[in-house]
Structure 1
Amino acid sequence: MVGRVLLACILAGGAVFAAPSPRAAGPTVTLDSGTFTGVASGSINKFLGIPYAQPPTGNLRFNLPQAIPPYNGSHSATTFGNECPQQAITLPLVNGLAGDAIDFIVNSIFRAVTGPIGEDCLHLNVWAPADATPSSKLPVIVWIFGGGFELGGTSLYDGGIIAQKSIDLGQPAIVVSMNYRVSAWGFLASSEVKAAGVGNLGLQDQREALRWIQKYIVPFGGDPSKVTIWGESAGAISVALQMLTNGGNTEGLFRGAFMESGSPIPVGDISHGQDYYDSIVATTGCSGASDTLECLRQVSEDSLQAAVDATPNIFSYQSLNLAWLPRVDGVFLADTPQNLVLEGSVANIPFVTGDCDDEGTLFSLANLNVTTESEVYTYVRQTYLPAATSSEIDELLSIYPADITSGSPFDTGILNALTPQFKRLAAMQGDLVFNAPRRFFLEHRSGSQKTWSFLSKRLKSLAGLGSAHATDILDIFGDQELTTYLVQFANNLDPNGDADLLEWPQYSTSSPQLLTLLDGLIPLTITQDTFRTEGFSQMTTLSLKYPL
């Protein structure tokens, strides 16, 4: 910088007698007795990498998050903090798949975390309008990232895009994102974990971050009574589960919820993860310990990482029957998520939930070797429904036939049949984990609270994938229509308001209308949420009876 100033002065024929003044310090905020210096970026101030809980290291590994002590001293908040440890994955880069589809998988969905990784990772980030003051009382939008509960981090997402959009709309808001523990670090599951009361630590981390917001958001200009939680994929599922925990009591932590590709999922007891726990215990040499959980707290980071990497990941053969994900632990989740919905253990707040049309295609790249009718039957039984009867599986397969014209990517005819069974598996897996749970959630809550729902059919031409899982991220972090709807929802608990956008009707069982996002000259329309009724019904019946 100094060299450029000197060169400019010389070229202008002037003399330089003193070095230029140092650059002004960035914006600051005082929390307790601590001063945090962030970064000014146009009309946005951003404060990155603020610790919201004690580092979950040493004896705090595999333990509930502990509140941060009062801040003091001076702190730089100019870079993202560590991302939490990630499970290694192998991306399914299929031979013959179009280059744009491969590029989308690698760079738009599950690209490598960009920041440093370490167990000291419970940090959050705040983007606020530069003119916000402690008396501004702005709504707060809290982003929870996705990644199959196995990977991900906040450095992948620029909350400033959302904050800037809020300013442009004349509805300024503050955006917060947090890291939370993922994979085994956040979702260790076993009888030992349940007995210790330390299940679902990733969800507990999110809850602790929400408590931090209640305590500290005012100095940034936020109103702790106007918090909307928002996420995509595992982040959206997290939002749903935050609505279900604690008997539906939000503790005043949030007043609205916005979910992209995630609803209360069909998962069962924490004991369903016992085999994966036992595998890690054995691999790390903890099998002979009297307290295997305590032993796991003491093993080296490298040893634990290697053990976790040896377990199935989101792109393994078993696909969406994940090794590491939220399960019933008796503390955060007292029952299966879908049973909690039936019991009415749901926060009575306005919410938005939506899906992409082809949620299952991305995850069906992991089972392309399933190519025959008998192999599909075996895969469904062994992977998802080991306790189901033959007639139940036969009925499911009759509803989701092998006819490639009826599979996913939907509405693409004979195209995208990577194998004779790919589109069939994609339809079933996407409906089981995403679309059927979304409709189930809406059908049981739309009469009790204000709800809106959407379906994204954009990027349907993406070879092999269609309107794949996570494609709607581009519609919100790309400053598209969903960005405006989100900002308006956070401000008014209603996504409508911009006269230039299509009016988004509330969802009801008598009129189940979807805001539908399309490619082409007509980007938005309203459709009916009545597709694949028989399939959704059977998926819901089976998932209630045989949760994962």
Structure 2
Amino acid sequence: MLSLDFLLGFTLLLGGRCVGASPSARGFAPTVKLDNGTFTGVASGSVNKFLGIPFAQPPVGDLRFRLPQANKPYTGVQTATAFGPSCPQQSFTLPIPGVLAQEAVDFLVNSIYDIVIPDSEDCLTINVVAPATASPASKLPVVAWIFGGGFEIGSTSTYDGGIIVERSIQLGEPVVYVSMNYRLSAFGFLASQEVKEAGVGNLGLQDQRQALRWIQKYIGAFGGDPTKVTIWGESAGAISVAMHLLTNGGNTEGLFRAGFMQSGSPIPVGDISGGQPYYDALVRGTGCSGSSDTLQCLRDAPYASLKSAMDDTPGIFAYQSLVLAWLPRADGVFLTAPPQQLVLQGSVANVPIISGDCDDEGTLFSLSTLNVTTDQQLQDYLSQIYLPNATTAEIEHLLELYPEDITEGSPFDTGILNALTPQFKRLAALQGDVVFQAPRRFFLQQRSGKQNIWSFLSKRLKDIPGLGSFHGSDILNAYGDEDMADYIIRFAANLDPNGNTNINWPKYTTGSPNLLTFLDGLIPQTITQDTYREDGFNYLTQLSLAQPI
């Protein structure tokens, strides 16, 4: 569920299009009045940017591990020319195996390690980018971006929303772009029985929801229409969009009217009590073991101690890979049941949606398991990490559906190439399917005929050694190229991604599961069918419904 969001940041920095560029020649700084406060932003070309506006009270002190509290009415003159700090980031080590081609190593190192993100507990800020000509009378559609990063890392500062707004102006479909920070890792997704009883689970999702309420209250001042909000995310951000579709019995509360998901769907996770081992590790690491109220003790713990204890828990590149320590779980409040069960119950917002994946979602996350090289080791890995309650027969049948033949593994359609180990391509196929591809198809097939749906598959960057069309690579289609951005903008404006685009994008139905497929080469897009690996997807869904992660 990691996103290579930082790849995008690196790319945009190279292109000189980072947010906070020099003000335009218009010679004045834009201002906006919110409550009794006046915020001064930055003018950049054809857009105005208002950055780092607090949308909730700082979640510090006794507000740590509590639901977000609305910001107090704004007063005075305030500067909104720079991003606020990111929420606390969990440390991680990127596995760079010696068998990975130098080209791929450079690709990852340059896109992740070169990006430094200052963080702080006081981090709940929101950013707005609007056309310079927008006024409260404009009533423009709003795109609300939720970044990815495995629910453990990430920041709004990596993304230049100006690219989206500028492109929307060029298309004649101007939009307002919004992005928000939200609490991450243990700070945002603390999970245990204690957390469940206190009703403070999924705080990162609650932060996002509070930001959407802020949009309803204030976006009109920037020229946006609060009735025309599309929530859009990638990876953990896309999973977040899915969670907003499922919460509250599917009632959107008028907070949004559409959802766009890149590499993220209702995931196969279970009850919040499943995070107990990680909660207990924090309690031990902060010296709270003897406390009669361990949750309050964690609130009172010094930041450095809590951050250190969090950093000692498994990160997104740990051996357990996509079985993340910190992520959304059924808490009885935001998620009243496991996400896929909520889908079966029909607890889904009836709004237009777009959902898609990259072809090789699992390659990046299989770099930490290169010591799994035999059939038996793979069986042991699956039974220990992903399917601890599965029978031997069930795991054996799953491996029959995902054979050892490297020509059938991921990166797909690369023949005998990219077999970093005898089991790498097989495990990459399994991990990408169980967390991303199969959940997407399950979700869309359950909702077919109930709401307007479009789906896509990105097969671009297939030539990246060992990785192929890896998780997060499609983000460049949105922020780096025009084609995906055009579909997003038109979808936000008209609830239909089609328009003056390269190819007509037909809706997705069970009878005709159309995929807009992005390709390298002279033919950048085509329409394919979402029928690949059908037996494997069905069995993974059967197993995940019976025993969520």
What's the TM-score bracket when you normalise by the shorter of the two chains?
A: over 0.9
Taking the aligned partners of 1:344 and 1:192, their CA distance within structure 2 comes to: 29
Give the structure 2 partner of residue 518 of structure 1. 519
Name 2:331's counterpart in structure 1. 329
Match of 1:284 in 2: 286
- Give the match for residue 502 of structure 2: 501
The corresponding residue for 1:8 is none
Equivalent-residue separation in structure 2 for 1:230 and 1:99 (angstroms): 33
Name the SS of the counterpart of 1:217 in structure 2: helix
Matches of 1:538 and 1:446, distance apart in 2: 20
| Helix, strand or coil at the partner of 2:327 | coil
Q: Is the 8 A contact 1:113 1:153 kept in 2?
A: no
**Aligned-residue offset at 1:115:** 3.8
Q: Does 1:183 align with 2:185?
A: yes
Separation of aligned partners in 1, 2:450 and 2:114: 41
- Name the CA distance, whole Å, in 2 between partners of 1:113 and 1:339: 38
Q: Map residues 142-161 of structure 1 onto 2, 5 A cutoff.
A: 142-161=144-163
Does the CA-based 8 Å contact 1:165-1:479 persist in structure 2? no
Alignment of 1:252-291 (within 5 A): 252-291=254-293
Q: 1:428 aligns with which of 415, 427, 430?
A: 430
From 446, 453, 463, the equivalent of 1:451 is 453
Q: Which residue of 1 aligns with 2:94?
A: 91
- Residue identity in the other structure for 1:165: R
- Secondary structure at the counterpart of residue 273 of structure 2: helix
* C-alpha distance after superposition, 1:52-107 (max 9, x if no partner): 00000000011100000000001100000010000000001121422331233234
Answer yes or no: is 1:529 the counterpart of 2:530: yes
Name the structure 1 match of 2:21. Answer: none
Distance in 1, matches of 2:27 and 2:526, equals 49
1:111 CA displacement: 4.6
Q: Which amino acid aligns with 1:49?
A: G
The equivalent of 1:27 in structure 2 is 30
Segment drifting more, 475-484 vs 447-456: 475-484
**Cα displacement string for residues 435-456 of structure 1 (whole angstroms, at most 9, x for unaligned residues):** 0000001100021000000000
Q: State which of 382, 404, 407 in structure 2 corresponds to 1:405.
A: 407
Partner of 1:81: 84
SS for the counterpart of 2:108 is helix
Whether 1:60 aligns to 2:75 is: no
User: Partner of 1:245: helix, strand, or coil?
Assistant: helix
- Within 5 Å, give how 1:287-306 maps onto structure 2: 287-306=289-308
SS in 2 for 1:476: helix
User: 1:414 and 1:278 mapped to 2: Cα distance?
Assistant: 44
Q: What are the Cα deviations for residues 266-324 of structure 1, in whole angstroms up to 9, with x where unaligned?
A: 00000110000000100100000110000001111110111000000110000000000
Residue equivalent to 1:216:
218
Q: TM-score under structure 1 normalisation?
A: 0.95
- Aligned residues of 1:81 and 1:115 also touching (Cα < 8 A): no
Q: TM-score scaled to structure 2, two decimals?
A: 0.95
CA–CA distance in structure 2, aligned partners of residues 526 and 100 of structure 1: 30
Q: Which residue among 90, 103, 128 is the counterpart of 1:100?
A: 103
- Distance in 2 between the 1:259 and 1:94 partners? 31
Determine if contact 1:114/1:156 at 8 Å carries over to the other structure: no
CA displacement, residues 454-483 of structure 1 (integer Å, 9 cap, x when unaligned):
000000010000000000011110033100
What is the SS of the residue equivalent to 1:140?
Answer: strand
Q: Give the distance between the partners of 1:101 and 1:372, measured in 2 at CA.
A: 25
* SS of equivalent to 2:474: helix
TM-aligned CA deviation for residue 114 of structure 1? 3.6
Q: Could you tell me how far apart the structure 1 residues matched to 2:117 and 2:419 are?
A: 37
Contact 2:99 2:420 in 1 (8 A): no
Query: What is the correspondence of 1:357-396 to structure 2 with a 5 Å cutoff?
Result: 357-396=359-398
- 5+ residue gaps, structure 1, are 1-21
Q: For residue 505 of structure 2, what is the amino acid of its counterpart?
A: W
Residue aligning to 1:168: 170
What percent of counterpart residues are identical?
68
Tell me whether 1:482 sits opposite 2:471 in the alignment: no
Q: Is the 8 A contact 1:127 1:163 kept in 2?
A: yes
Structure 2: how far apart are the matches of 1:113 and 1:74? 31
Partner Cα separation in structure 1 for residue 461 and residue 128 of structure 2: 31
Larger Rg: 1
Check conservation: 2:97, 2:367, Cα contact below 8 A: yes
Work out the CA distance in 2 between the residues paired with 1:420 and 1:115. Answer: 37
> What's the CA shift string for 1:89-135, capped at 9, x where partnerless?
00011214223312332344x45654421000000100000000000
CA distance in 1, matches of 2:53, 2:113: 24
- CA–CA distance in structure 2, aligned partners of residues 38 and 95 of structure 1: 47
Q: Equivalents in 1 of 2:154, 2:342: separation in Å?
A: 27
Task: Tell me which of 458, 463, 467 is aligned to 1:465.
Answer: 467
Larger deviation, residues 121-130 vs 99-108: 99-108
Amino acid at match of 1:395: H
Q: Which amino acid aligns with 2:309?
A: A
Select between 91-100 and 39-48 the one with higher mean Cα deviation. 91-100
| Partner Cα distance (2:249, 2:105) in 1 | 42
Instruction: For residue 185 of structure 1, report the CA deviation from its aligned partner.
Output: 0.4
CA contact (8 A) 2:237 2:264 kept: yes
Give 2:46's aligned amino acid.
S
Preserved CA contact (<8 Å) 1:113 1:155: no
Q: What is the match of residue 37 of structure 1?
A: 40
SS at match of 2:309: helix
2:196 to 191, 194, 217: 194
- Residues of 2 paired with 1:525 and 1:509: CA distance? 19
